[in-house]
Chains A and B, each alone.
Chain A
Amino acid sequence: MQITVSVNGESYVRDVEPRLLLTHFLRDELRLTGTHWGCDTSNCGACVVRLDGVPVKSCTVLAVMADGAEVSTVEGLAHGRSEAELDPVQEGFMVCHGLQCGFCTPGMMLTSRALLDRDPAPSAETIREAISGQICRCTGYENIVRSVQWAAAKEAAVRGSADTDTSEAMA
């Protein structure tokens, strides 16, 4: 089947088997290997990507189901190559040691990004709930929670200074 999928803003047209999983499409067809595979049964979330903005487990989405959709993966999180262009979530994971082996990290970061997009100041409980469909075997989750809080705090600070700039400009 021919599908057209937009991944991180770039459009790809491919002929794929109808049974091809989205995770294998991203990894094997597009060579975007930041999306991982971990369990087959939708339990671990190593394969989480955003499909039209919504976090999904790409091991249980067929590539053909993404036809015409916008997929975002970990490779699209940062705005550029410099450290200053990292997404605050990426920065938070580094500063707060929210990752060890790095295998669950892309999925955790995408879920966290989606959470902050709809709730810019989540409580620890809200963060735990948001990532509860994903498994990390290394961190015991505490530093992931702190990483997301760090990112929320940074974005709040950036918004605060932007607001200040705007009000100063208006004055």
Chain B
Amino acid sequence: MTAIGEKGVQDLSVQIHAAEETPRGYGAMKRKEDTRFIRGHGQYVDDVVLPGMLHGAVLRSPLAHARIVRLDTSAAEAHPKVHAVITGQTLAGLGLAWMPTLSQDTQAVLATDKVRFQGQEVAFVVADDRYAARDALALIDVEYDALEPVVDAKRALEPGTPVIRDDKDGKTDNHIFDWESGDRTATDEVFAEAEAAEDQLVVVQDMIYPRVHPAPLETCGAIADMDPVTGKLTLWTTTQAPHAHRTLYALVAGLPEHKIRIISPDIGGGFGNKVGIYPGYVCAVVASIVTGKPVKWMEDRSENLMSTSFARDYHMRGEVAVTREGRIRGVRVHVLADHGAFDATAQPTAFPAGFFGVFTGSYDLEAAHCAVTGVYTNKAPGGVAYACSFRITEAVYLIERMVDVVAHDLAMDPAELRMRNLLRPEQFPYQSKTGWEYDSGDYPHTFRVALDKAGYDELRAEQADRRRRFDAGEPVALMGIGLSFFTEAVGAGPRRTMDILGLGMADGAELRIHPTGKAVLRVSCQSQGQGHETTFAQIVAQELGISPDDIDVVHGDTDQTPFGLGTYGSRSTPVSGAATAVVARKVRERAKIVAAAMMEVSTDDLEWDDGRWQVAGDPDASRSMADIAMAAHSNLELPEGVEGQLDATCVYNPPNLTYPCGAYICVVDVDPGTGAVDVRRFVAVDDCGVRINPMIVEGQVHGGLADGVGMALMQCIAFDLDGNCLGGSMMDYLLPTSLECPSWELGETVTPSPHHPIGAKGVGESATVGSPPAVVNAVIDALAPYDVRHADMPLTPAAVWCAAQGHPLRPDLGIT
């Protein structure tokens, strides 16, 4: 631990881990990957240059909904630096104009009939360099016949609304799916009782979780290199799931899977944005086939924000049945889910609303039910992206906002209301009313740790004082205190119930031990900054007693790694991390047999002690992994059944998800004159089970908290009624900077996962999931003098001011 006691550190009691030394297993250590990043030697897709490489650019639709009348590419083709122009018609000839989505819908690669959102892909130009490719886009002439766009999800199912997906046979409306979870009858009974009883009430609130975009700093792109001689396609691409992509390309394009190699080099942030397959990737592949040369395509920022996977866009109605003493009995939810023009959400097949079913949150309920309806609109496709743990972001926001609305209506302290209803430790493993088995947790303890860390009572006292001064007419900022307690469900998942397009969500791992005891771990998951090269080496180190510095972690190349589903939904540590521990234990058991042969004793006589196999009771008789590895490669006579070498493989099929939790407290100051919100403090106590590298865990939490502040206060992809995207650049889509973020105050509790080999749970998305309601609750709390019950994100100064005046804004439509 390094405490930097120099000038300017706001709070030295803030828990923070930094790294000086390399531990032999778990603990803070410098990241192995950083040696290249800090020298500018990372290799991101756009850094890769192949001999003879050409550059592609996508022509996009300026309109949200229009029929394509005429498409003339002749002038572009005549450009001296242009090699090819690919259109929807070109692709139709190859059977590739449409591709399947991860939600078993179809998506246009290049539009053939009409365009369905602003920014949709219409043509693809291949030229000598990126500037020439852009020049040629301007030479393509497209005539559109504009159609009425469907922008408001609430209008999508109204009779007479234009049908967006008329490409689908017999489609007469914009309906995608209806999905429900929980016991409707039991829930309705609880609500009927609550409505009838004097000592109970039903609290209702509509809320929007607006459309946002993950906006990783590196945009999406690919280099397709189809070798015309061998027929092998090498695709360098920004993907969080290289193996899943390989199989999908095989299925979509009919390419033999062993002739496809996906290389996902360093990734400049993903957050869910790089899970799906985008039309630009497919165009690059086709362009390489057509030209016989490698073709690079990198989207620009506007393309990234306007066309790739958005997140959220959930229009929710929450209802809570509660006694007047504050005992929450039931929760009922209706959701209208805006999926955009193509249903391209990425989630396990059986879960069209993702894991929204975890909306019962951290509370002990009698009954719960939700009904979700998905609709098409003339907006970009996507929907499950942005560190959301498959829609648990929306679920946690719903329940944590509802709890505060209940507290408002009951005039009860929201901390007291939560404490009364939190699950108790003895209820674990807990069967939720919507069918989830929470593995472990001590919620009241975690919550108390956060309240104490924040100094909750003192904060309330300060707030009361400030309100008195405000009421007396003093020009003081309005102070707000916001709470949230979240339960996450991450690490998809058990292959019996969870698959993506039929691919079960288990992960492989391979571990090689070289003769000198150095190791190479090969994993399928894909770091986008999470530090897998370090933490996964630490897992092996902890199991085998060798230094993490002596373990190389290979990932991001399908020709070099075992199959697995990739990194999203906080699944790397729960699934690939478990596979790593299991494969290391296999190696350790194999090493035991070799060690016994080396020392001419029975394996029964050996015990694992401090990184060595030792004869029980004889500390002088022991062998390290390096000793054993060399012997395993030597002419040592081995017992029957052992082939030599220590290498092992495994596939880990998780028995359940892991359920991290956390208690977050946000303190804001709101300027009543302008509506501007200043986040003064943010206390985050996370329980993600055993921490492999606490420094990295804290970094993951920090990043998620910044996301939460951004979504709560700034970020929104809105549209005007013509379907124009109003968040198409970083000038319009506001991301938090160092000035909007406070100095995070972290804490931890540890309840290990009982079913994970090392007791760890995922943490990558916890803070993104848990923090938005804490910020919103704080702002609403600050507005108590105006008796504001709810206002939708993002709580920009205008939104806050309007809410205080009693005229809340609708955030998803720019013009209302």
Q: Which residues of A contact B (CB under 8 A)?
A: 17, 19-20, 24, 27-28, 31-41, 43-44, 46, 73-75, 77-78, 83, 86, 90, 93-97, 99-106, 109, 121-129, 131-146, 149-150, 152-153, 156
Contact = CB atoms under 8 A, between A and B. Distances in A.
B729 A101 contact: no
B741 A141 contact: yes
B695 A97 contact: yes
Given A31-B49, A142-B743, A86 B38 contact: yes
A73 B39 CA distance: 10
B217 A32 contact: no
A77 B31 CA distance: 19
Given A135-B737, A141-B706, A103 B34 contact: no
Given A74-B39, A149-B9, 14 more contacts: A28-B129, A31-B49, A36-B218, A40-B729, A44-B217, A83-B35, A99-B34, A102-B33, A102-B42, A103-B42, A123-B7, A131-B738, A149-B8, A156-B6
Interface stretch (B116-124, B524-532, B551-559): B524-532
B46 A121 contact: no
Given A75-B39, A141-B706, A102 B266 contact: yes
Interface in B574-593: none
Contact of B268 (A41, A95, A103, A143): A103
Interface string B1-41: 01010111110000011111000000000110111111111
B216 A101 contact: yes
Contacts of A121: 6-7
A127 B18 contact: no
B2 A96 contact: yes
Nearest to B14: A142
Contacts of B698: 97
A55 to B, nearest CB: 15
Q: Which 6 A-B pairs have the closest CB atoms?
A: A34-B40, A101-B529, A103-B268, A102-B37, A140-B702, A100-B529
Nearest to B305: A39
Contacts of B131: 17, 19-20
A43 B736 CA distance: 11
Given A31-B49, A102-B37, A124-B9, A132 B741 contact: no
B268 A129 contact: no
A50 B7 CA distance: 27
Contact of B737 (A37, A109, A132): A132
Interface in B417-462: none
B301 A74 contact: no
B534 to A, nearest CB: 10
Nearest to A59: B301
Nearest to A38: B217
B699 interface: yes
Given A101-B217, A103-B44, A124-B9, A41 B301 contact: yes
Contacts of B231: none
B213 to A, nearest CB: 11
B217 A94 contact: no
Interface of B: 2, 4, 6-10, 16-20, 30-31, 33-44, 46-47, 49, 129-131, 214-219, 266-269, 271, 300-302, 528-531, 695-696, 698-699, 702-707, 729-731, 735, 737-739, 741, 743-744
Contact of A140 (B2, B18, B47, B703): B703
B217 A46 contact: yes
A122 B738 CA distance: 15
Contacts of B129: 28
A93 B695 CA distance: 12
22 contacts: A31-B49, A34-B41, A36-B268, A38-B301, A41-B729, A46-B217, A86-B38, A94-B31, A95-B2, A96-B18, A97-B698, A99-B37, A101-B216, A102-B42, A109-B38, A123-B8, A129-B738, A140-B741, A141-B706, A145-B738, A146-B18, A149-B4
A121 B4 CA distance: 13
Of B35, B38, B47, B739, chain A has the most CB atoms within 10 Å of the CB of B38
Contacts of B268: 36, 38, 101-103
A75 B737 contact: no
Nearest to A110: B40
B699 A100 contact: yes
Contacts of A104: 217
Given A102-B529, A134-B737, A43 B730 contact: yes
Contacts of B40: 32-35, 73-75, 77, 106
B743 A124 contact: yes
B216 A140 contact: no
A137 B2 contact: no
A124 B10 contact: yes
Given A94-B38, A101-B216, A105-B38, A124 B8 contact: yes
B760 to A, nearest CB: 19
A103 B217 contact: yes
Contacts of A24: 130
Contacts of A95: 2, 18-20, 30
A121 B6 CA distance: 9
Contacts of A126: 8
A40 B302 contact: yes
B386 to A, nearest CB: 11
Of B19, B216, B703, chain A has the most CB atoms within 10 Å of the CB of B703
A132 to B, nearest CB: 5
Nearest to A103: B268
Given A75-B40, A106-B40, A137-B216, A129 B4 contact: no
Contact of A137 (B44, B46, B217): B217
A33 B39 CA distance: 10
A100 B530 contact: yes
B217 A93 contact: no
B730 A137 contact: no
A90 B42 CA distance: 14
A37 B46 contact: yes
A93 to B, nearest CB: 6
Contact of A153 (B4, B33, B302, B739): B4
B4 A40 contact: no
Contacts of A139: 699, 702-703, 706
Contacts of B36: 102
Contacts of B34: 93-94, 99, 102
Of A17, A37, A101, A132, chain B has the most CB atoms within 10 Å of the CB of A101
A138 B8 contact: no
A22 to B, nearest CB: 14
Contacts of A124: 8-10, 743
A74 B499 CA distance: 42
Contacts of A37: 46
Contacts of A97: 17-19, 31, 695-696, 698-699
Contacts of B300: 40
Nearest to B699: A97
Contacts of B8: 122-127, 149
Contacts of A20: 131
Contacts of B707: 137
B15 to A, nearest CB: 12
Contacts of A149: 4, 6, 8-9
Nearest to A37: B46
B218 A103 contact: yes
B264 to A, nearest CB: 13
A136 B41 CA distance: 18
A142 B702 contact: yes
Contacts of B10: 124
Nearest to B708: A140
A20 B639 CA distance: 68
Contacts of B49: 31
A77 B730 CA distance: 28
A140 B679 CA distance: 13
A54 to B, nearest CB: 19
A41 B731 contact: yes
A91 B42 CA distance: 16
A103 B19 contact: no
A138 B4 contact: no
Nearest to A129: B739
